[in-house]
Structure 1
Amino acid sequence: MDDRELQKVVEKISITSFGKPFRHKAVFNSRLRTTGGRYLLRNHNIEINKKYLEQLGERELVGIIKHELCHYHLHLEGKGYQHRDLDFKWLLKKVGAPRFCTKLPDAPNKRSFQKVLLYECIKCHLRYKRRRKIDTRRYVCGKCKGTMVKVEEFMME
């Protein structure tokens, strides 16, 4: 399948599932790694990860297209088009689109153990687990506004 065929498929799905035309471009983007597709707000185009078609087939591709078309149509109508919005969740359910795409079979597994940093407030002794390092000169305790210090660094599953 090439970009022209993808454009036709997206236009067809838009009419059949949503009853509205798709008037912008749909293309494959080989640079997408962790997502099945994306809707671009600035130009209303849709980009699809071709690996999903190659590895998981047309059924998964149709689900990704429906998902991106939900973003597209809701954004153009001025409704809630983000994943957390009720309009988006409702439309996904109505057209039978998945909320998230399936993980690719050849995708590298995340490490089972990850570094965790433990910070403690000097004032109230509240502890915070973080995966990323924080600047203790800028950030303070959310409970009492006390100074934070790094206590420990360990590996966690």
Structure 2
Amino acid sequence: MSNEELQQWIEQVSLRSFGVPFRHKASFNGRLTTTGGRYFTKSHNIEINPRQLTMFGREETEKIIKHELCHYHLHLAKRGYMHRDADFKQLLARVGGSRYCQSLPGAQARKPLPIRYKLVCVSCAMEYPRKRKPDPRKYRCGRCAGMLKLLVLKESGK
């Protein structure tokens, strides 16, 4: 399926399910790994993961399109368009969109970084574990406002 066909498909779904036209750009983005689609609040464009279409078919992809169109139409209407908003949840349930897309095989979430550094307060010995190397001159202790000292727990293997 080409980007032009996707554009027409999204325009049809928008008119059929929402009764309002989709007037912006829709395209496939093969770089999306853990998500089925994406809505951009600044440009109002929508991107869809093409692997969702090839792995799970048109029905699941249409649910993803409806999900992104919920963001789109609610944002343009200046209503709650975020996942946590009641307006979004109600509209998504009404049009039959999916809350979450199916996981693609081989797509894994990144492992969190191990704790390699620790900031220690010179005055009260309060410890602050860190994954990335902080600059101790930028921070003060949250308990006593004392100066912090950087301790290296593990050297990064760069």
- Cα separation, 1, equivalents of 2:135 and 2:89: 37
Question: Alignment identity in percent?
Answer: 50
1:138–1:108 Cα change, 3 Å = same
Structure 1 or 2, whichever has the larger Rg, is: 2
**2:87 counterpart of 1:103:** no
2:69 counterpart residue number: 69
2:148 counterpart residue number: 148
Q: In the alignment, residue 79 of structure 1 is paired with which amino acid? A: R
Preserved contact between residue 24 and residue 45 of structure 2 (Cα < 8 Å): yes
1:20-40 CA-to-partner distances (Å, cap 9, x unmatched) read 221222111223334322212
1:68-101 CA-to-partner distances (Å, cap 9, x unmatched) read 1111101111122233434333333333333343
Secondary structure in structure 2 of the residue aligned to 1:57: helix
RMSD value over aligned CA atoms?
2.7
Equivalent residue pairs, number: 153
- Cα separation, 1, equivalents of 2:97 and 2:145: 44
- Cα separation, 1, equivalents of 2:130 and 2:92: 33
Alpha-carbon shift at residue 132 of structure 1 (Å): 2.6
Q: Which runs of 5+ in 1 are unaligned?
A: none
Q: Which runs of 5+ in 2 are unaligned?
A: none
Alpha-carbon shift at residue 152 of structure 1 (Å): 5.5
Preserved contact between residue 29 and residue 48 of structure 1 (Cα < 8 Å): yes
TM-score (norm 1): 0.76
Preserved contact between residue 80 and residue 87 of structure 2 (Cα < 8 Å): yes
2:40 counterpart residue number: 40
Secondary structure in structure 2 of the residue aligned to 1:115: coil
Preserved contact between residue 38 and residue 46 of structure 1 (Cα < 8 Å): yes
2:119 counterpart residue number: 119
1:94 counterpart residue number: 94
1:128 counterpart residue number: 128
1:26 counterpart residue number: 26
**2:49 counterpart of 1:49:** yes
Preserved contact between residue 44 and residue 72 of structure 2 (Cα < 8 Å): yes
Preserved contact between residue 122 and residue 146 of structure 1 (Cα < 8 Å): yes
TM-score (norm 2): 0.76
1:85 counterpart residue number: 85
